[in-house]
Structures are given as C-alpha cells and as structure tokens.
Structure 1
C-alpha cells in the first residue's frame, strides 16, 4: 500500500484512532500536530510527526507536500475561524494534487441553515470542499460515545450512579465510538471511487436515555439511572472550560436539538455499512472498555448479559 496520508488531529481522541488504523493498514502516516513532544506515542507507532498549525498556511503546505491522501478534521477549541482552517488545508491539498481527502465534520451537518454559527459552519465547510475540486468523502458522525466521558457525566456517575446528559430521556441517539469513526475513516481513505459521497454515521444502536442507563448498568454491574439536564446546566459546565461565547453557542445548539424531530439523531447504518463495512462497538461494550473511568471494574460478561 505504502501511500502517504496526512492526518490532522492525530493527537486527539477522534484523530488518534485514524492515524493508528492507517499505520495498521500499511499506509505511511504524516501527522500534523502543534507540539511534537506531546505526540511521542505517534512517532513510536511509526508515524512521521511534524509541527504545524491549521492557522498557519505555510506549515500546512509543507506538511502536504508529497501526500497522496488526507484525513481532515478541524479543532473544536482554540479560537479562530474553522472555515479559515479548512481553506488552508483544502487549498494545500489541491496544490499538492491530493488524490482523496476524507473530511470528518465531527458532528451532524444541518440540512438547511439554522441561524446558529456553531452548526451552520458545517454547511459552508462541505460546500467549500465540493467547490475546491479536491476528490473527497465526507463523514458526519452524529454523537460520540466519548462525550459521555465529559465533566457533565463522570462526577455524578461515579458518585451518585446518575448518567446526566442534555437530551430528553425519550430521544433516541445513534452513539458512535471514536474507534469506530477511525475504522470508517481508514475504510473511506481506501475507497477513492466513493469520492463525492457523504455518509451520516452512528453506532449499531439508537438508544434513549433509559436504554443508555441500562447498558451502563449491565456493563458496570451497579444500578445507573438517566437524568436529562438542561442546555443551560450543560452550557455552564462547558463555559467554565471554553468561555462565555462558547457557552452561549452550546446552549443555543442544544435548544435547537430539543426542538428537532424526535428521530433527528437516529442513523440508519445499513447503506453506510454496505459501502464501508467495518465492525461497530455497542455502547455496553464501550462502557466496559472505560469502566475504570466510570468508577469501577467492568461487570463479567456472563453477569451483564453482553450483547452479541
């Protein structure tokens, strides 16, 4: 295989499984990171780790030289305009004659403008990529299981057995594990004939809040109950980490989600798996993998009734 793939975000939760998956599949991997010293594990795994920043067009151009394929995702934090970052990466890919760019939108792309910049930028992001002429595949993961490792979940789950999240209890969500997004990205990078297509991505199950709590209960071997928290409560937690401007946007986005149809976060994966056949992780299995973070050892599979 031996093709060189440039990966963005390879030092983070979403990007690392892509980089490691590409290495395992036999690709050569170049990872653009802000701090090389903090990404020794990537180097030890066999990646070429180079320093750069999506906000710096020249460093992006240097990183893209000689690259045949690109995995692009944009930082969620750090200030700046994500569309400017995307422009830098896409322009560099076009100049380098990249054969295929796979974009991870890191969230659901609205079907039409919502008036909320935090959501609508993905519409402009996909449009800019299409207009660039760079062959591309778009991946749109709806909701990451890793969101359940945030500070709005962990303290109460550990101390009270409460799974708190800012969505109504009856709303089903197709949660996807970051490791599965990595598998989809690697599969897409190997399918240039799919260029021009976009895939909504979810997990193998669409679960309501109580169904999520049941999966946690089985995986951890102790009673867990679901509690819907308000967008304002969730935003306040995020605001302490990201600032008041981000807090306002997050609150508005979750209010908009609450007004959407009940099945708006449900993904039918049959068509996706026909094009990109990769194994998927049920929530219960994912919770077992992270049991120590949730405050205990995983329950034995026989006692927990693991899903087959």
Structure 2
C-alpha cells in the first residue's frame, strides 16, 4: 500500500511528496522521465497519456494526489479522461484532486470539471482542493525580477481585485490532511481570508525585501507575452484567457463554508510567511 503522487518532481507534487515522506508515509512518485530520483519515495515513470499505465499505478493505493499540468487545454482534456478511467478501473482507497485554480463548474466542460465529475461518478472516496491563485505565480521572472529591479509588482488583475492567494506549500498541507480524512469529502476551498488586493501583495513584498514596492496592473496580453517563453505559446494563451475572463469578476475569494480553515483547521500562510518559508 502506498500514496501515489502525480507531478512528484514539479511545483505542485514535490511539496506533497515531501510532506508525506516527513510524515513517514510510503510514497510512489510519478514522474514522466525514467531514472528520476525522488528522496524517500519509490519512483514510477508515468505520465498522464496512458489510462492503462495510470491504472497500474493506482492499483492498491491508499491514496492518490492528482492535479493537471500546465499544458494546452486540449492535452489536459485527454489527461483528465485517462485519470478518470484509471480511477474507475483501479479504485484506490482515496483520491485528492487539486483544480489548480481552474473552473470545475460542470457546465464549463473543462478538464478540471471532467475530473471532478468522474470522481463523483466513480464512488471512490475523494475530495477536491479548490485554490484560487497561487503565490508561486509571483515567482515568474517577469514579476519577481521587476520587484527586485525597479520596486514594482506587475500582475494581470485590477488593483482593487481581492484574491484569496494560496501557495503550493498550503496545498501540500491540505492534501496531507485530506488523504487521511475520508470523512471530509467534496470541495475544500483554500486561500487567505480575508482576500487581499494587489497593493496588499506589493506591501508584503516590500516588507520582506525591505524596500518600497508598488503594485502595477498589466493586461492579460502583456502577461501572455511575458510567460510564453517559460511555459510555451499554447499554455500561455490559455492562461491569458483565464485572466481575461477573471477580469469580469468582482473577486477571487474563497467560500468560508467549505474552506480548509473550517473543515481541517488549517490556515494558509500569509504572503510574508510564504516568502520566508521558501527562502526568497
């Protein structure tokens, strides 16, 4: 028996592996490249592109942590269907899925919605972690380099747009708890509350670095151009589209009735605490 972690060497999965290993749990780390080494874990070379491979990986698992990678939505849709097929076939004891900030609304027809719907139909014990935006997005070169070089924090949201930011470290804390809490099911929202604005973020960065930092709203198109060299043209266009749609919303605040603070007693890190914890 083991805990199977997707993206074990990446930004999302690695903190979950570390948390499980620290807790003394047996871990099977899924990695796309053969020969990958993950300390404290058994490594299995497996991507998202084979339902049969995933079925074998999930067989007999105590728990599975799943998230969808930053690739084109077309690829994510195929991956989502493979994940669902593998869960239905292997029937692991527990599945925890992070939407990674994508919409899981059944009407959207998106990849996250397919996973959530498939888990609900499977009858397998599961929970869904629903973050809003990741603090790690602020480590993209176009953001952090600008903070350091000219004391400005650029991001494609309005200055008055409140967001319940969460970090990958927070996701790992919640995932660790949920994998062993079959009594908690459904959606678990995660993020800072009250939600904070862009100027609040800039103030936190300024306090951490000991300098004045101002918030600088940019357009989704400016963001697309900045991130395309890092994540690729297709994923960059998809992400920019999400921010364009987000611009019509009043906020991205968590729902208190099903948040990690209430359901699990886990409070996410403040921005300054996160900056300290990652050693920036």
User: Could you tell me the TM-score, scaled by structure 1's length?
Assistant: 0.83
Q: Is the alpha carbon distance of 1:31 and 1:145 closer, same or farther for their aligned partners in structure 2, counting shifts above 3 Å? A: same
Alignment equivalent of 1:211, drawn from 194, 200, 204: 200
Alpha-carbon offset, residue 108 of structure 1: 4.1
Which residue does the alignment assign to 2:263?
275
Number of matched residues? 279
- Equivalent residue for 1:184, pick from 153, 174, 182: 174
8 Å contact 1:220–1:291 — kept in the other structure?
no
Alignment root-mean-square deviation, CA: 2.2
Shift of 1:228: 0.4
Instruction: Tell me what 2:70 maps to.
Output: 76
Alignment match, 1:257: 246
The Cα offsets for residues 119-174 of structure 1, whole Å up to 9 and x where unpaired, read as x3322332222123322111111111000001220221121111000001110111
2:112, 2:95 → 1: CA distance? 16
Quote the residue 1:226 is aligned against: 215
Counterpart of 1:299 in structure 2 is none
Shift of 1:64: 1.9
Instruction: Say if 1:90 and 1:134, in contact at 8 Å, map to a contact too.
Output: no
Q: Please report how far the alpha carbon of residue 110 of structure 1 lies from its aligned counterpart in structure 2 after TM superposition.
A: 5.5
* 1:296 paired residue number: none
Match of 1:122 in 2: 112
Aligned-partner Cα distance in 2 for 1:285–1:131? 39
Q: Which residue of 2 aligns with 1:98?
A: 92
Describe the superposition over 1:11-39 as per-residue Cα deviations: whole angstroms up to 9, x where unpaired.
1111111111112223211111012434x
Worse-matched range after superposition: 233-242 or 163-172: 233-242
SS at match of 1:210: helix
Evaluate the alpha carbon distance shift between residue 131 and residue 17 of structure 1 in structure 2; reply closer, same or farther with a 3 A threshold.
Answer: same
Q: Provide structure 1 residue ranges, at least 5 long, that are not aligned to the other structure.
A: 293-308
Q: Distance in 2 between matches of 1:283 and 1:33?
A: 30
1:18 aligns with 2:34: no
Specify the alignment match of 1:248 in structure 2.
Answer: 237
Contact kept? 2:195, 2:253, Cα under 8 Å: yes
Is 1:194 the equivalent of 2:184? yes
Tell me the CA shift for residue 207 of structure 1. 1.1
Q: 1:216 and 1:243 mapped to 2: Cα distance?
A: 27
Stretches of structure 2 lacking an aligned partner (at least 5 in a row): none
In terms of mean alpha carbon deviation, does 283-292 or 143-152 score higher? Answer: 283-292
Shift of 1:223: 0.8
Asked whether the equivalents of residues 108 and 200 of structure 1 are also in contact (C-alpha less than 8 Å), the reply is no
Does residue 286 of the first structure (1) align with residue 274 of the second (2)? yes
Structure ID, larger Rg:
1
1: CA distance, partners of 2:277 / 2:247: 30
**1:175·1:205 contact (CA, 8 Å) conserved in 2?**
no
